Amino acid sequence: MTEVFDLVVIGAGPGGYTAAIRASQLGANVALVEKGLWGGVCLNWGCIPTKTLIDNLKTMKKAKKLLVLETGPQLSLEKLFQQKDLVVGNLRKGLETLFKTHKITLITGTAKLAGAKTIIVQDSKGQDKRRLEANNIIIATGSSPVELPELKTDGRDIITSDQIFKLTQVPTQVLIVGGGAIGCEFAQIFHDLGAQVHLMELTSRILPEADEEVVKLLTVGMIRSGIKVYTGVAVEQAIKTKNGIAVTLSNKEVITVNLVVTAVGRKANIEDLGLEKAGVTVDQDRIKVNKQLETTAQGIYAIGDCVSGPMLAHKAAYDAVTVAKNIAGKEKQEVDYTTIPKCIFTAPEIGMVGLREQEAKAGGTVKIGKFLFAASGKAQAIRDTRGFVKIIAQAGTGQIIGAHIIGPQATELVNQIALAMTNKMTTKQFAQVVFAHPTLSEAVKEAVEDVDGQAISISKKRFTPPFLK
């Protein structure tokens, strides 16, 4: 028997479940198909679990500084993971409640396109169990870690970033392959867990997409903390020995570790979906879509990591809302990724949105404003004064076109600039807002005001920290 819906969404990660809920709010009869756990990688193995771990480790580090104990707080990997399980479990239950209240039909299984409007759902054994039909289909199958041929993962000694929570003990020596956002976060996680960490990046610096001054500060901090950072090198081979895993780098240096974590990027999960049968075209390993996120097959859309753009949970959710509106309404909306913030949960945190300084200068004359957290009363109060806020604005109009923040709660603060950029605000308009005191947000306002030389808490004779020189 064929079950008929207005919309079938394939994949229940941040993109998929957001699309299903918003479409239901707009009056559609929706089915959501997921072969794994509700919430996808983000909720179960990625964003939420890792940030729970990072926050608990941060709390432990603060406790060590303030508590008077002979041995200090003792680390329990088991309890850390139990806390993670509690958070993830509560959020997954919350999702299931949302699905129920919005009357979304939940289907567990692997979905395959059998035509432009038909989906076959198979069970874990590959047997067809349900046949669905819908005028509109959204593909939201997410992504998975890229694996290197010279580093075959085994889920035990050589793992991907998605397998971190399968560990039962903290290794003494860890090699993180890949110095992007995921690699840098995991480097600090393992360092805080007590491991000796080696962080390796193929390009000339870690976080190649981030602002140079931001990267310089983070790199200096990592090295001073004891993390060994290697740039401009690749892995040539990895051999398991009785002493561990001997990894040979392209500079001929050999590092022996107990664990290797690969974090060299992610790839779209678009294999075995039956795309050809439905007339859906793939371009450069992602599904080809127009600016309304419709594929080459009418009525079939793709969102999130499956299509071009940053592989971020909030970008997937943005895609999802856009498509849900496009399906429900007559007026088509187009996606615009220029004001989507990117966040890295290192210590210090990093938040960025819009153009980098070099990109902005290449496009025309710009003005730059900066403010050090060392001059922030709130940063002093919470004893976290590392970092700065950098604001980039067009010289002629004063419109804010970029922001790069490294410091306490940078991942929260950057959203203020994303809001300003979305509404095409100028520095003068932003400066009119009254900010509460004492808050970290004041640092953002000071940096914006510094673009026009109007910052209150910056000395005329500026001191430039060594990491910015």
Active-site amino acid positions:
437
| Length of the chain measured in residues | 469
How are the residues of the chain apportioned to helix, strand and coil, as percentages rounded to the nearest 5? 35, 25, 40
Q: Which of 321, 326, 173, 327 is nearest to 245 (CA)?
A: 173
Q: Give the CA distances from residue 343 to residues 3, 20, 62, in Å, rounded to whole numbers and listed in that order.
A: 41, 26, 22
Amino acid at position 167, single letter:
L
DSSP state, 75?
A: P
Q: How many helices (H) and strands (E) does the chain have?
A: 13, 24
User: In 297-343, which residue ranges form alpha helices assigned H by DSSP?
Assistant: 313-328
Cβ atoms < 10 Å from Cβ of 253 = 11
Backbone torsions φ then ψ of 274, nearest 5 degrees: 75, 30
* Residues 469, 464: Cα–Cα separation, whole Å: 7
- Which residues have a Cβ under 8 Å from the Cβ of 253 and sit 6 or more positions away? 230, 233
Angle at 461 between CA 458 and CA 467, to 5 degrees: 80
CB-neighbour burial class of residue 90 (10 A; exposed 0-12, middle 13-18, buried 19+): exposed
Which residue matches tokens 């971190």? 164
- Which residues have a Cβ under 8 Å from the Cβ of 137 and sit 6 or more positions away? 7, 8, 9, 10, 113, 117, 119, 278, 299, 300, 301
100-106: long-range contacts at Cβ-Cβ below 8 A with a sequence spacing of 24 or more?
102/20, 102/21, 102/24, 102/25, 102/30, 103/24, 104/20, 104/21, 104/24, 104/30, 104/31, 104/32, 105/3, 105/5, 105/29, 105/30, 105/31, 105/32, 106/31, 106/32, 106/34, 106/38
Amino acid at position 144, single letter:
S
